[in-house]
Amino acid sequence: MTEVRVRDVMTRGIVYLPAATTLDEAARAMRDADIGDVVVTDGPNLFGMVTDRDIVVRAVAEGRDARQTTIGSVTARDIVMIEQNSTAAEAAALMRDRAVRRILVCDNDRQLVGIVSLGDLAVRLDPSPALSEISEAGPRP
């Protein structure tokens, strides 16, 4: 049996936002794209990645104003990347070792091509249908 590769489980649609974007704008972009993370840029450079959880834990829980606070001020700057031809098992090990739930995926030229999440791996690698059913069900009302 062929090993599952990161390219087979990653999400290809990457949303990029400048570090100066406010939290409320980023939250709307995540909602509209039905995603939980965005890649943050500083001009042409990669600045980091911010997740919906980062916004809640690093800003909302601290009482920061979502209309004034920028995503650059709450972005995780520790960029973890994996090559798209790596195995899903290698991605899972990297997530465990670096204690992250999402990894940026690059091609051989180190260009971003996607994002792989712990959920992506769990749905693809777990033989039971429970995780995929939960993932496909979407948010609860």
Residue-wise pLDDT for 59-80, tens only, equals 999 999 999 999 999 998 889 9
The pLDDT value recorded for residue 43 is 92
Does residue 140 have a pLDDT over 60?
A: no
Residue percentage of the chain with pLDDT more than 70: 88
The pLDDT value recorded for residue 50 is 95
Instruction: Give the residue carrying structure tokens 């943050």.
Output: 40
The pLDDT value recorded for residue 133 is 53
Does residue 135 have a pLDDT over 90?
A: no
127 — pLDDT class (breaks 50, 70, 90): low
pLDDT, tens digit (0-9, with 9 covering 90-100), for 14-27:
999 999 999 999 99
- The full length of the chain comes to 141
The pLDDT value recorded for residue 30 is 95
Separation of alpha carbons 33 and 51, rounded Å: 13
Separation of alpha carbons 23 and 114, rounded Å: 22
Does residue 139 have a pLDDT over 50?
A: no
Average pLDDT of the residues in 109-131: 79
Does residue 138 have a pLDDT over 60?
A: no
Return the DSSP state at 123. H
Separation of alpha carbons 76 and 49, rounded Å: 6
Task: Report CA-CA distances (Å) from 65 to 24, 69, 79, 109, 120.
Answer: 9, 6, 26, 39, 32
How many Cβ atoms are within 10 Å of 19's Cβ, its own excluded?
A: 17
Separation of alpha carbons 2 and 49, rounded Å: 31
pTM for the full model?
0.82
Farthest CA pair distance, the chain:
52
